[in-house]
Structure 1
């Protein structure tokens, strides 16, 4: 489920972590330019613990993640804001403040798309309740948290 995204606004998706139980259960926000240029940012289960992280692909992929066990069972929001050929990716829960999880180069001024994603490569039937997909004001700067829109 991707829609055109010109980067003039930030994009956010929110979803419920209650169904995340198995290794690599994951959901979040996909930013897409082409088959070899994309970013997925969100939450996934790794070694029995919920982690927030991102995979950034520009021909090759890397993977960054950080444990957030206190986020288990919460509503999570993942946000991307485009600025000077990069995206600032932030995440929060309904009870926790924004945290910056990645600043990544995404130097594609045109033909970008964004939208929610979910995946569970280890099991069939994984379902995630997405509660919000919205475009909102872009980040003011890297060091100022965006407002929360609940």
Structure 2
């Protein structure tokens, strides 16, 4: 795996990757303010064709917009990120899809959670984002068009747009080529 904006501290041991998000880091483009930020941390590998990525993680979110989760990236203007984001003191399941301009959607969680499971599935130009609070009962968060690009960078991301940074722990990250029953 490779880094795009390596964080100040990180470690990998077995199936666990920990990252310390740096201060004033983010991924965002143009919407609601007209600024571009491409300074978040992204630990990725390139994947061709359809795929499924999964991870479970927990973060020590502290400041407004602290975020961690999965990212799928074609280039600086075409990407998506999804995961947990702290908004007004509450953890939200969040997705940002960017095709030149970022758009943002979120779902409030009932309470502070310890772990969340994320699954991102690509089929052609379509990406589906699912999450689970128990590792079994996955809910669809978003289905979106992203890109027709043959290869995409897929992996773990974190950022602290307004804070001093925070620690996140990812476990059991997997990325596999995926063939639907129609393709088999």
Give the alignment's TM-score, normalised by structure 1: 0.83
Which residue does 1:89 correspond to in 2?
129
Deviation at 1:107, TM superposition (A): 2.2
User: What's the CA shift string for 1:67-96, capped at 9, x where partnerless?
Assistant: 0133x2321121111113100111112367
SS at match of 1:20: coil
1:88 counterpart SS class: strand
Match of 1:58 in 2: 99
Q: How many residues align?
A: 139
**Distance in 2, Cα, partners of 1:101 & 1:131:** 21
CA contact (8 A) 1:74 1:94 kept: no
1:123 aligns with 2:163: yes
Correspondence for 2:48: 6
Q: Distance in 2 between matches of 1:6 and 1:137?
A: 8
Structure 2 Cα separation of the partners of residues 119 and 13 of structure 1: 17
CA contact (8 A) 1:13 1:132 kept: yes
Counting strand residues as a fraction of each chain, which structure ranks higher?
A: 2
Structure 1: 4+ residue segments shifted above 4 A: 136-141
Task: Name the larger-Rg structure.
Answer: 2
Q: 1:22 matched to which residue of 2?
A: 63
Indicate whether 1:108 and 2:154 are aligned.
no
Q: Secondary structure at the match of 1:69?
A: coil
Q: What is aligned with 2:174?
A: 134
Unaligned runs of 5+ in 1: 142-150
CA distance in 1, matches of 2:50, 2:151: 13
